[in-house]
């Protein structure tokens, strides 16, 4: 598994942390209730908007889930 630096999502009620590999276009999401997921083919702009969203969980639900292929990795 490639090393992706994870950024804590302060104040999120669902997401613990997020990380991004720009070269591979992989978004990694760790949830507070467990579960680590990788979303593939995610553009950098999408990650930046997620990182800066007022609600990371809401942005994830609206714009990432169902839009990009993913795998549960942990």
pTM greater than 0.75 (yes/no): yes
Of 3 and 21, which is predicted with more confidence? 21
User: Which residue, 25, 10, 20, 23, is CA-closest to 56?
Assistant: 10
Half-sphere exposure of 27 (CA within 13 A, CB side): 27
Residue 1 in domain = no
Question: Which helix or strand (DSSP H or E) is residue 74 part of?
Answer: none
pLDDT value, residue 10: 86
Give the range of the structural domain holding residue 28, as residue numbers without chain letter. 6-72
Residue showing tokens 């990182």: 51
Q: pLDDT at position 25, please?
A: 98
**Running DSSP on this structure, what letter comes out for residue 5?**
-
pLDDT in tens, 4-56: 999 999 889 999 999 999 999 999 999 999 999 999 999 999 999 999 999 99
Q: In which band, very low, low, confident or very high, does the pLDDT at 2 lie, cut at 50, 70 and 90?
A: low
Q: How many domains does the chain have?
A: 1
Asked if residue 48 belongs to a domain, the reply is yes
């Amino acid at each position: 598994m490639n090393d992706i630096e994870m950024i804590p999502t302060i104040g999120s009620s669902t997401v613990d942390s997020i990380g991004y590999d720009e070269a591979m276009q992989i978004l990694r999401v760790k949830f507070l209730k467990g579960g680590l997921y990788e979303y593939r083919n995610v553009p950098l702009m999408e990650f930046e908007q997620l990182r800066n969203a007022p609600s990371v969980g809401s942005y994830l639900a609206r714009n990432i889930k169902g839009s990009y292929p993913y795998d549960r990795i942990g």
